[in-house]
């Protein structure tokens, strides 16, 4: 069955000048994979999501989706200071049952 939508939800935190994120990847509304707590800023979470679904290092998720007629939905919830803690981001990235 052909994938119709890919959704990437990221939660980001800035601490001591560094930015970290965790992300969840959904295919057609079903959780497919999670990205663990890691360093990255801007749209790094989209690059890492592309790697997680098997794209080679030269491919970008947005162009992969565009070229195949797949709707790409993405969002990053970004907090600083006392926002998301490292512990919260690590827990949020876990798949139930892991």
> CA distances (Å), 93 to each of 12, 20, 64, 70, 71, in order?
12, 12, 24, 24, 23
Q: Could you report the per-residue pLDDT of 5-57, keeping only the tens digit for each? A: 999 998 888 777 788 888 999 999 999 999 988 888 888 989 999 999 999 87
Q: Which of 9-23, 65-79, 82-96 has the lowest mean pLDDT?
A: 82-96
Q: Are 29 and 5 in contact (CB under 8 A)?
A: yes
Q: In angstroms, rounded to a whole number, what is the distance separating the alpha carbons of residues 23 and 34?
A: 6
Q: Are 92 and 22 in contact (CB under 8 A)?
A: yes
Dihedrals φ, ψ of 65, to 5°?
-65, -45
pTM for this structure? 0.80
Q: Are 83 and 13 in contact (CB under 8 A)?
A: yes
């Amino acid at each position: 069955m052909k994938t119709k939508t890919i959704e990437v939800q990221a939660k980001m935190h800035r601490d001591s000048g560094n930015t970290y994120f965790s992300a969840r990847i959904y295919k057609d509304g079903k959780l497919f994979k999670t990205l663990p707590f890691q360093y990255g800023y801007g749209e790094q979470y989209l690059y890492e999501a592309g790697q997680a679904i098997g794209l080679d290092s030269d491919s970008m998720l947005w162009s992969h989706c565009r070229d195949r007629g797949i709707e790409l939905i993405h969002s990053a919830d970004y907090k600083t200071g006392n926002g998301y803690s490292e512990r919260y981001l690590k827990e949020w990235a876990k798949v139930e049952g892991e």
